Structure 1
Amino acid sequence: MGDKILCFGAVEVEDEGGGVGRRTVRIYYYLEDDTIRVVETPTHNAGGVQGTLVGRQRVATESSPLAPHLNLSNIKVGECVKVLGRRYMVTSCDPATRTYLTSLGMAPPPDLLPHPSPEAIPELTGAAKLQFMGDWPKTHPLATFVMHSGQVLRFYGEWVDGSVMAEGVGGVTERVTERVELRYYLEDDTAEVRVHHLTPHQHALTPTPPTLPTKLLRRSPIPKDASEVLGASSLGAESRPTLNLLGLRGGRAHLKDRRPQAGARPGMLTPYDLVLGSEVRVCGRVLRLCECDAFTTTYYKNVLHIDQVPVEYQYLYRKLTVPPVPRTTPLDPRWLEEHPRDPLHPFPTSVTTLVGGYHARDIRDGCEGTILRFGAKLITDKEKDKDREFVVNFYVFDSTISVYEIPRINSGQRAGMFLGRGLVVYEGGEGHVSAQDLYVGACVTLNAHDFTLTSADEFTQAYMERHADEFPQANYNVALDAARRCLDHHQLTALLRQYTSHDPDKTGFVPTTLATKALADALGGSELSRQQVAALTRRHRHLRASPLSRQQLTHLAALHLKRHNFHGMDELRAGLQGRDKERCGLLGAGCVRAALLATRLPLPPALIDALIDSVKGEGEQVEYESLCRDLDWRLRPHIHTTPPCQLDEASLTAGLRRVEDLTDYVNLVADLEGSAATHHFAGTGLV
């Protein structure tokens, strides 16, 4: 019986008042040594410490500490048991406990409720029933604070339109999409209001929306009617009575009483006023309660006997408003962002702001997540700023720009956000920087700093080539026409000879970086930008898969094994030899994979699959002795010399998917020469 544990559900019984407490516990009985452990069931927002109440130990009976300890016969469903001075009524047991007791002939009665009524507790009279106070506020503030310390009622709602209920009380005049949270603290009957912004106001100069809720009203009592507290002093007085002194000065003498007249106490919000679906006045506005958390629902049902039924938010079914009339007068260039037409749709669907005859923003539907990234450097004479590197982000959706500085170790410069997202206006104030102004090799002025764009990522290059009509610098036909006018026959011959010198096997392909550099050198005196030169070579790119070789994969696997201090190569070799029934030194690829997994090699699954695929021979057979020698890092004295790649997961994934970026220089030179094939160079032996 060393592994048998009986579990009983119980509820604490208060001895002084005879009532039932709210603490639900579980009593665990260990059959091996008759020990007991009492654990309180965790309850959300209970306001007290929960967990293990009584550690595992033997508990003496109530009669005397020298008497025998509690055993299984003392714990019965429907009866009370006393553990270390506390009384618990056993209300239930789990199915395993019920089955075990039934097998012993001690079948327990049916389970009681989790919180049984006082009538079901033996030795308790009807006068000891648990009574909840119906009046509010509580008559004993200190008792209320102790009883409800840490308990908070949370409600969520929305502001109501001013035309519904808030006329004359300072309510809002239009709906806003804000999720309002009202917290009611039961310990001192105070409340606070917080606002969660669902669709915050998007501004060009402040693009980052607030992530934390805004506290609209700090913790304090909230009056039901604000007019009742107007003019009241700290003593609760509204005014002083005036006495009319008859007979003095013709009956026109008046005297004010020095004692203030005590006015009626203003009514404050109570839990009875906070019912879902109702509207309350908070901060001069009308708040409609829509939902609450689980603790609030349970509290209202058990204490106040009110069922909280959630209601739907009204702003979800509101129709969109009519768009305003477009502006025709120019605005200040520093404030080009127009206000949202609708709180649910903060971005305008068409351009209405005109500045100097140019559109302030070019809104493009369907490009909300499209970001063009360029590498940039500062154009400056200061030595400390020449090595600073930046990333320029262009958001195609609204033509905004943000700049980040790449951190460098011991640079002395603060990296991170350099320019927040927003529209960048030209120095003259007419128009703003658009997509046509950004390309590799361009010089732009951002935040009063001159930048030169040095590179662009693969996505940006591909996007500009797909939309060549919008990006003329990435248009292949435009760049090809300009290059043909700059290159003559002798220059093309020299360019082709340079390409063939790096292609000894006459495959017709050279690395793309080399092809781009050679073409840029040939077009050095022309007006073609670096973006146009890249567009010419990218048209003839070929991505050829170049996975890691067997030597590189075994080298990488041995590095992983040494990193994890693996010394189980003898077990691996013995496992492979045991699977080789014919003693021929060859095993199938599936059998070798199963042996590697059975030995629990600390290798990523992708590396194991690539390694087995590289060592397979004819008939899917693997020479396992050679594989074990290659994986044994103890036989590699120079294992850390020229590793194929880093050992992290990202580098390993990139190494397994490695490709070779090549350029077909034959077709490239043919396009530059203007013929269908390089027939002018056919007799030179270069092609």
Structure 2
Amino acid sequence: MAGLPKLPGLTFSDPTLSKFNRASTFEIRNGYKLPKAEYTGIGGRQLEVNSVAYIEKGDPVRYDPSLTYGRTRSRALPQFTPHFVLYDQKCLNFTAFFKQSVFDSPNEYYRVRQVNLIYFLEDDTITVMEPKIPNSGLEQGRLVRRNRIPKTDLGDYWHWKDLNLGKDICIYGIVYHIVDCDVFTKEYMRSQGVILKDPEQIPQDPYTMQRKMESMASVGKTPPADDKLRRFLEYDGKVLNFDALWDDRDSEYGELRYYKVLYFLADDTISVKEMHERNNGRDPFPMLLKKTKLPKIWTDRPVDYPSAYMELSDAEVTEFYQPKDLLVGETIFILGRKFLLINCDKFTRNYYKKVLCIDQKPPIEWKEKPKEPPEKPMPPHDGFGGLEDSLQNTLTFLPQPPKKDVIRQLLNANKYLRYEMIMDAVHPEDKIRKFLLNYSLAEGNCKIYEPPIRNSGITGGKYLSSTYLIKPGSDPLNPCYYNPADLYIGARIYVFGTVFIITDADLAVYRYMLDNPDKFPPAVIENLRNHMFKKGYLQEDIDNLVEANKEAEKKAQRDAIGQLVEKKKTELEKCHEAMNIGGGFDNEYDEKMKQKLLREYEQSLIHTYKVPPHGIKPINLVCPNKIIIGDVKSAECQEGELSGITPKHIDTPEEIKQKYYANVLEKHHDICEHGKSVVCKDAPPVGEEVVPEELPTDYLKISPPEFPGESCLAKQVSFADQKEDPCHKDRKDLCNLKQRKEPCDCTQLPPCRTD
């Protein structure tokens, strides 16, 4: 195709070409036009001169040696930052002033106006701003718009290098003298190598100084001491208030009358106001004396003064009453009447203390104390309704319900103490009847319910609704009601002529007594404890108490074991101590952390369930089968057997022996209760699992034991190394599990009351 002549019919066009535009020879980088390193042809097609065929041997531009030898590591080129980005919002602030001539004014010839020259480093422009001064009468603000200020007629402009302190610059015909600049300007000029001169002071404006001198207070003559206007503005509305008494009982039909003496500080006048009481029979004249100046000696007047037709003026009076003359406990004369000042208000006391340095005396009591009203007798109860309801009707005119103890109702809502009773039978058919007594802790009343008995002929159900039960022999007007302290096993309850005997109670009643021991006598708590024990309700509490004692003994032994454990120092710690480096070792802190870990381990071994201290005393029963126990091996660990703290999942030697003897204990219980016999054996060696033995089929059958009715009994167990104890605290220590055995005195419990 290349050799054919360019004649019609011999030229061919490429149908895939669709772009025929000429490529540009510049590219834009960071806002600047830069020539391209390589050019393209029409439509962006590669030129043949840029192909490999035209590469010369020594052409370093289009030949890349890295294709042959690999690329070398080179430092990254610094990032280019344009000038307008580097100095964006950065300005040089100079303080300057210029003098403006004033014509046709006799007060001033020129003015000194302060301005700020702001030079923008971003584009080398300058603006002139004048701070606004209130009441100056001048158009202040921006004096020169921001632009490049010409320096000369040759096209030069002002640059920051031309600015310095103490220099005059001309901007559009006005000469500005630079006197100071800010901190940023000083640092920038110093960084560019420009040495600034010392700052100067702006000269004072003559007219402004004249105005300041005129506004200053002028020195005049001293005002008079008694300035009425000043006193009015300072003391208007401030009044000294005194309580006073006029004793007129020396005259006929005279009495002791109560007044208010008001002293007005604004003009030193006094007024007297009479305080009327209800139904005193006097005319309601509000003021005894109107507001006027009161002379101290009202009879003191000149001899030749014509008082028959002229009143006294201030010139004829020698002295008027002043605040220093009005003191609590003193007597003043008001136109011939003697008034005793008995009290003053709080403002008056503060005024005398702060202004006159006088402490007013305490108030004087002058009123007689009212007699106490006689005590109203309580009317007798007419028998209708409750006593509290009838008494409440006598206190108010309109009947109101009696007030209740809301706090007691909130704390004891839906709480009842339940007892089982029988009737002190008068008739034989009443012996089989049983009753349930519910005592409400919220209201203090009782209700009785009778469970139905089939084929008895007696209809059960509600026997008594909620009511207060009155003790026999109490005062009808001040009755004494039954309370929980009067309800115990064997107590006799009188219910409207019918006598009931309490025979049983809930376990919740015993729990309530233990939680509130101050509300019950000790004999009542002991009575209910013995009853609960005989019924077998406290067996779980006894077991929990024994288990708590065992846990306490285990903890004591673990504490003794933990004290023997010593922390060994590592080789690194020994090396640090020898080289005397580190300084971060705290033996006291390490000891605390070791004790903390030991306590956490002990807490993990203790049972989470704790038995509350119900105050159960250990009561031992008699077992008719005496057991002789031989020598028992000690459960203490020998030296060398304990290498550290025993893990939680491995039994200690003490626990192995306890499990073994616990099995013996259960067998001994079978002897006492079911007649099974057992013999205590030695404990298995440490590490061997305890396998329960099967009971022989031909064991000795023993009849069930008979428990005597005494209140203090002891188990009959003999130990080989100890004499028989008639009374023993630990009920289940049969094979000497290294628990302390202390003999105790048997205390005779009081018998239950049957009356």
Name the TM tier (shorter chain): under 0.3
Q: Which has the higher strand share?
A: 1
**TM-score under structure 1 normalisation?**
0.23
**TM-score under structure 2 normalisation?**
0.21
**Which structure has the bigger radius of gyration?**
2
